[in-house]
Structure 1
Amino acid sequence: MKRSFYHYVQIFRDTKLRTEETKLAEAIFEDLQFPKQSEDYEEVSNYLETNTYYISDMTLFDELWETYLENN
């Protein structure tokens, strides 16, 4: 079964390790409006670009999306 991007990015959650990936994963986890079931790049990308304050550089998202595709 294919998992959503939200479920994939949760593997990066870590409250002690403060990398860009862990910060983004924590922010996504705390975002109640995040499209949790989405497997669609455009939907997630558009949401992050237009509805969030916690990602300033979409390059990180693009890199995580690539690993999501490789690992899913």
Structure 2
Amino acid sequence: MHKTFYTFLMTQRNPDSTDAIAEFANNAFLDQSFPKQSKDFHELSQYLELNAGYLPTMTVFDDAWQAYLASEA
């Protein structure tokens, strides 16, 4: 994996979309504490569980993580 999850997630941003991953990306962009350098699932998952009230369900993160892994394959 070369790019960080955050870098990947920013490619999913779309302010006009109602897609769950796009909304996650839009909100993560505004989250100044988001662990932008992380490539670690557990670190990101823990951060989101404790700090990301904007994430309606962790399934959105799981789906985004799978897309991230696929993009790095």
Query: What is the TM-score of this pair, normalised by structure 2?
Result: 0.92
Task: State the shift of 1:56 in Å.
Answer: 2.1
Which stretch shows the higher mean deviation, 37-46 or 62-71?
62-71
Which stretch shows the higher mean deviation, 54-63 or 39-48?
54-63
What is the count of residue pairs matched by the alignment? 72
Distance in 2 (CA, whole Å) between partners of 1:32 and 1:62 is 21
What pairs with 1:1-72 in structure 2 (closer than 5 Å)?
A: 2-72=2-72
Structure 2 unmatched runs, 5+: none
* RMSD across aligned positions (CA): 1.1
Structure 1 unmatched runs, 5+: none
Structure 1 runs of 4+ with >2 Å offset: none
Percent of pairs with identical residues: 38
Query: What is the TM-score of this pair, normalised by structure 1?
Result: 0.93
